[in-house]
């Protein structure tokens, strides 16, 4: 076999494997475009095509989408505000107990969300901030902040020391160095952290379903979707259409920012 | 499994990055203060929004909370009583067993398939980068989206899965009923975990020197031999991290199971049990906060232990 034929076969197998892997997503999209009576027939493509399911979604789910955007951006902001300076301190300044921080941040990423939710629930009941957007943002940020600190710290540790020392010699304060040198250089890391913070907040189910169960329209899209699931007579058309709409941020991020995503997945888990 | 765990480089080593041999004392102290100021928001956040909720969780497991005492906040201290009750409950050991099956079977398949795909994609071919990128999609989607899609695909009467199996003469399987539900959620969870394993193992492969393969090829080692003699042994550190993180993530899975089966029947794991006892709607008339906190505390202890193991593995890698 010539080399060209060999790689051609690999591409063919690769396409087949990817198609198999992504089949559930195709199925979701397929059902979302199928008329209600035809859904149970299980056609391999939307033969009875309709946009009605999406009309239902626009009617039912728009407020939840807005809430989800708000929560997503809020979580990104909070995550960046806390993790970037902390990472600067841990990577470039003198902080006692760095090893303890490292351990705590690793454990923080391993604590099951359900355990956090139990604690948060009790605290939020006492504070009266159950079913509020700020409450959910604070909880959602717990998913991203340890990751953010670690990713920023890894990145900032790679900034040449000479650069920071030169700034110090010029009389720049730590704050000025951080703002004018460290932050601009860390732009890529910031994008990755922001991406994941947004995606995790957008996708969150456990915190939303415990801390913001009865927030009415102030609940995120995952709860809007959950309303459909919980109902007695599951309407699969609108359900799948909502699922498709809820997947849009993922799709956009993958198209626009795939390299940042890959950078985030491997961060820290694999060392050179 | 929708997270990745990051860690700081060299954080396990003794030295701080900028330690200089003869820093004068007052100067050193000022640098301490500056560092602490920058880290202050994080420290406050960790205390308020990690330590405090976790402490509340543990304290709830030691006091008897019911609906009434939950509101008044005057739950009587129960010591280890609730722990004993939970451990003695007829649900405890079956749930531990199901959790173990869920975790182990998920991990074995996620890892094996992820590794096979990583090796497959390792030799670049046309479109390989694009296809590899597409493999990430299931991992980035909201889990509730994937879970509902699987739920519909596994519908006994109209699901595509049974229809497909029907082509081979297999009778419809009631995927989501009590007895089969564990396998249904395992299948969906394997699917969810493949991307993570693929990406991490793929980048692990990239760190293996190409010279080794060339030398082995010159010595006449076939692809199979090369895999078992070079790839697999050299991937061991990455494998350890992947499986460790996979274990932690799989142990804490709630949403995929809850959405597909509400943790009914055999699909109940420790995490969904805790969730169901505290927040389950309709599944139990009595809300059992304290019992849920007991299970939560058990999960917390496992997470702590795994954090230590992670550090140990990381340190061994750095040496």
- Closest C-alpha among A143, A5, A171 to residue B249: A143
- Partners of B38 on chain A (C-beta within 8 Å) are 85-86, 88-89, 93, 174, 178
Rg from Cα positions in chain B: 24
Give start and end residues of each alpha helix (H) in B174-288: 181-206, 210-218, 223-226, 232-234, 236-251, 255-261, 270-279
First to last CA, chain A: 36
- Partners of A237 on chain B (C-beta within 8 Å) are none
Q: Who's near A12: CB < 8 A, 6+ residues apart?
A: none
Q: 3-state class of A96 per DSSP?
A: coil
DSSP code at position B282 = S
B131–A14 C-beta distance less than 8 A = yes
d(CA A184, CA A164): 13
- In chain B, the residue whose alpha carbon lies closest to the alpha carbon of A26 is B149
Residues shown for chain A: 272
Burial class for B114, CB neighbours closer than 10 Å (0-12, 13-18, 19+): buried
Window 169-228 of B: residues touching A by CB (8 A cutoff) are 191, 194, 196, 199-200, 203-204, 207
Which residue is listed with tokens 């806390």? A82
B306–A112 C-beta distance less than 8 A = no
Give the Cβ contact number of residue A197 at 10 Å: 27
Q: Who's near B10: CB < 8 A, 6+ residues apart?
A: A157, B17, B318
Tens-digit pLDDT profile for residues B122-136: 888 888 888 988 898
Establish how many alpha carbons lie within 13 A of residue A252's alpha carbon, considering only the half-sphere containing its beta carbon: 9
Range B14-33 average pLDDT? 56
CA–CA min distance B213, chain A (Å): 18
- In chain B, the residue whose alpha carbon lies closest to the alpha carbon of A248 is B141
Tally DSSP H helices, then E strands, for chain A.
13, 0
Q: How many CB pairs under 8 A join A and B?
A: 356
Return the minimum-mean-pLDDT range out of A31-40, A231-240, B14-23, B248-257: B14-23
Q: What's the mean pLDDT when you consider all of chain B?
A: 86
- Partners of B52 on chain A (C-beta within 8 Å) are 119, 123
**Cβ-nearest to A114 among B73, B245, B296:** B296
Q: Who's near A7: CB < 8 A, 6+ residues apart?
A: B125, B126
- Partners of B300 on chain A (C-beta within 8 Å) are 111-112, 115
**Residue A267 confidence (pLDDT):** 60
Percent of all residues in chain B with a pLDDT value above 70, rounded to a whole number? 87
**Residue B10 confidence (pLDDT):** 47
- In chain B, the residue whose alpha carbon lies closest to the alpha carbon of A5 is B125
d(CA B194, CA B206): 18
pTM above 0.95, yes or no: no
Tokens representing A34 are 């199928």
B317–A89 C-beta distance less than 8 A = no
A210–B125 C-beta distance less than 8 A = no
Tens-digit pLDDT profile for residues A149-180: 999 998 898 888 888 888 888 888 889 999 99
Tens-digit pLDDT profile for residues A135-154: 999 999 999 999 999 999 98
d(CA A84, CA A100): 18
- Partners of A96 on chain B (C-beta within 8 Å) are 32, 35-36
Q: Are A80 and A194 in contact (CB under 8 A)?
A: yes
Give the Cβ contact number of residue A141 at 10 Å: 25
Which residue is listed with tokens 């999960």? B299
Tokens representing B247 are 């274990």
d(CA A112, CA B167): 41
- The residue with greater pLDDT, B66 or A221, is A221
- B10 reaches A (C-beta below 8 A): yes
Q: Provide the sign of the torsion angle of the four alpha carbons B91, B94, B100, B102, taken in this order.
A: negative
DSSP code at position B287 = -
**Cβ-nearest to B8 among A150, A209, A226:** A150
Q: Who's near B305: CB < 8 A, 6+ residues apart?
A: none
Q: Are B314 and A139 in contact (CB under 8 A)?
A: no
Q: Are B57 and A115 in contact (CB under 8 A)?
A: yes
Tokens representing A225 are 């979707």
Tens-digit pLDDT profile for residues B99-113: 999 999 999 999 999
**Residue A47 confidence (pLDDT):** 87
Assign A3 a pLDDT band (cuts: 50, 70, 90). Answer: low
CA–CA min distance A188, chain B (Å): 16
**Cβ-nearest to A25 among B137, B151, B242:** B137
**Residue A203 confidence (pLDDT):** 93
**Residue A266 confidence (pLDDT):** 63
Rg from Cα positions in chain A: 23
Alpha-carbon distance values, B268 to A116, A151, B218, B285 (Å): 19, 34, 53, 18
Tens-digit pLDDT profile for residues B195-225: 999 989 998 998 888 899 889 989 888 889 9
- Closest C-alpha among A227, A225, A223 to residue A241: A225
B57–A90 C-beta distance less than 8 A = no
Tokens representing B204 are 């692990």
Structural domains of chain A in order of their starting residue, each with its CATH number = 77-221 (1.10.3720.10)
**Strand (E) or helix (H) holding B235:** none
Please check whether residue B222 lies inside any domain of the structure: yes
Tens-digit pLDDT profile for residues A71-86: 999 999 999 999 999 9
Range B50-57 average pLDDT? 94
**Residue A269 confidence (pLDDT):** 46
Please check whether residue B145 lies inside any domain of the structure: yes
- In chain B, the residue whose alpha carbon lies closest to the alpha carbon of A29 is B149
- B67 reaches A (C-beta below 8 A): no
- Partners of A206 on chain B (C-beta within 8 Å) are 254-255, 275
**Residue A8 confidence (pLDDT):** 86
Assign A262 a pLDDT band (cuts: 50, 70, 90). Answer: low
- Partners of B254 on chain A (C-beta within 8 Å) are 112-114, 205-206
Please check whether residue B11 lies inside any domain of the structure: no
CA–CA min distance B90, chain A (Å): 22
- B73 reaches A (C-beta below 8 A): yes
B39–A270 C-beta distance less than 8 A = no
**Residue B22 confidence (pLDDT):** 47
**Residue B167 confidence (pLDDT):** 92
Percent of all residues in chain B with a pLDDT value above 90, rounded to a whole number? 54
**Residue B209 confidence (pLDDT):** 87
Structural domain harbouring B253: 81-318
> 3-state SS of A216-261?
HHHCCHHHHHHHHHHCCCCCHHHHHHHHHHHHHHHHHHHHHHHHHH
Please check whether residue B304 lies inside any domain of the structure: yes
Please check whether residue B287 lies inside any domain of the structure: yes
- In chain B, the residue whose alpha carbon lies closest to the alpha carbon of A164 is B18
Q: What CATH code is carried by the domain that includes residue B99?
A: 1.10.3720.10
Please check whether residue B40 lies inside any domain of the structure: no
- Closest C-alpha among B184, B198, B175, B196 to residue B102: B184
Give the Cβ contact number of residue A43 at 10 Å: 12
Please check whether residue B74 lies inside any domain of the structure: no
CA–CA min distance B172, chain A (Å): 15
- Closest C-alpha among B185, B157, B181 to residue B171: B157
Burial class for A269, CB neighbours closer than 10 Å (0-12, 13-18, 19+): buried
d(CA A149, CA A135): 21
d(CA B7, CA B315): 12
**Residue A2 confidence (pLDDT):** 59
Domains identified in chain B, total number:
1
- The residue with greater pLDDT, B3 or B186, is B186
Tens-digit pLDDT profile for residues B267-316: 999 999 999 998 886 545 567 888 999 999 999 999 999 999 988 888 88
Assign A42 a pLDDT band (cuts: 50, 70, 90). Answer: confident
d(CA B20, CA B31): 12
B128–A14 C-beta distance less than 8 A = yes
Please check whether residue B302 lies inside any domain of the structure: yes
Which residue is listed with tokens 């939303």? A208
B7–A150 C-beta distance less than 8 A = yes
């Amino acid at each position: 076999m010539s080399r060209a034929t060999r790689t051609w076969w690999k591409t063919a197998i690769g396409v087949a494997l990817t198609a198999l892997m992504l089949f559930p997503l195709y199925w979701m999209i397929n059902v979302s475009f199928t008329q209600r009576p035809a859904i149970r027939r299980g056609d391999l493509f939307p033969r009875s095509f309709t946009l009605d399911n999406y009309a239902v979604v626009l009617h039912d789910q728009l407020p939840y989408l807005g809430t989800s955007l708000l929560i997503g951006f809020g979580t990104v902001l909070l995550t960046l505000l806390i993790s970037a300076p902390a990472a600067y301190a841990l990577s470039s300044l003198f902080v006692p107990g760095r090893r303890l921080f490292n351990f705590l941040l690793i454990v923080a990423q391993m604590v099951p969300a359900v355990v956090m939710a139990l604690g948060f629930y009790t605290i939020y009941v006492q504070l009266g901030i159950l079913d509020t957007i700020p409450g959910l943002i604070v909880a959602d940020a717990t998913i991203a902040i340890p990751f953010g600190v670690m990713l920023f710290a890894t990145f900032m540790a790679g900034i040449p020391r000479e650069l920071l020392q030169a700034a110090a010699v010029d009389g720049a304060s730590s704050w000025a160095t951080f703002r004018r040198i460290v932050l601009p250089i860390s732009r890529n890391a910031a994008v990755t952290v922001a991406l994941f913070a947004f995606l995790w907040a957008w996708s969150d189910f456990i915190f939303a379903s415990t801390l913001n169960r009865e927030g009415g329209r102030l609940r995120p899209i995952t709860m809007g979707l959950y309303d459909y699931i919980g109902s007695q007579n599951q309407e699969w058309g609108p359900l799948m259409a909502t699922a498709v709409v809820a997947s849009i941020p993922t799709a956009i991020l993958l198209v626009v920012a795939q390299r940042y995503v890959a950078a985030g997945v491997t961060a820290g888990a694999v060392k050179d | 499994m929708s997270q990745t765990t990051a860690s700081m480089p060299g954080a396990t080593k003794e030295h701080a990055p900028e330690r200089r041999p003869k820093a004068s004392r007052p100067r050193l102290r000022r640098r301490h203060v500056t560092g602490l100021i920058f880290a202050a928001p994080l420290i406050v956040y960790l205390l308020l929004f990690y330590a405090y909720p976790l402490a509340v969780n543990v304290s709830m497991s030691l006091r008897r909370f019911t609906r009434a005492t939950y509101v008044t906040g005057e739950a009587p201290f129960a010591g280890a009583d609730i722990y004993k009750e939970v451990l003695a409950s007829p649900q405890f050991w079956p749930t531990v067993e199901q959790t173990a099956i869920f975790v182990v079977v998920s991990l074995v398949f996620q890892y094996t398939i992820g590794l096979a795909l990583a090796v497959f994609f390792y030799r670049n071919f046309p479109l390989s980068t694009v296809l590899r990128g597409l493999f990430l999609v299931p991992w980035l989607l909201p889990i509730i989206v994937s879970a509902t899609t699987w739920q519909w695909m596994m519908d006994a009467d109209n699901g595509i899965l049974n229809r497909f199996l029907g082509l081979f003469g297999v009778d419809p399987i009631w995927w989501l009923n009590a007895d089969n539900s564990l396998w249904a959620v395992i299948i969906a969870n394997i699917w969810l975990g493949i991307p993570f394993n693929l990406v991490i193992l793929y980048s692990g492969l990239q760190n293996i020197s190409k010279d080794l393969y060339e030398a082995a090829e010159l010595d006449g080692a076939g692809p199979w031999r090369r895999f078992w003699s070079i790839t697999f042994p050299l991937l061991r550190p990455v494998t350890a991290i992947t499986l460790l993180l996979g274990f932690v993530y799989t142990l804490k899975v709630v949403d995929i199971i809850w959405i597909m089966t509400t943790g009914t029947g055999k699909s109940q794991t420790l995490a969904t049990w805790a969730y169901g006892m505290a927040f389950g709607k309709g599944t139990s008339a009595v809300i059992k906060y304290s019992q849920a906190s007991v299970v939560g505390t058990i999960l917390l202890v496992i997470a702590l232990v795994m954090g230590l193991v992670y550090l140990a593995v990381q340190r061994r890698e750095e040496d």
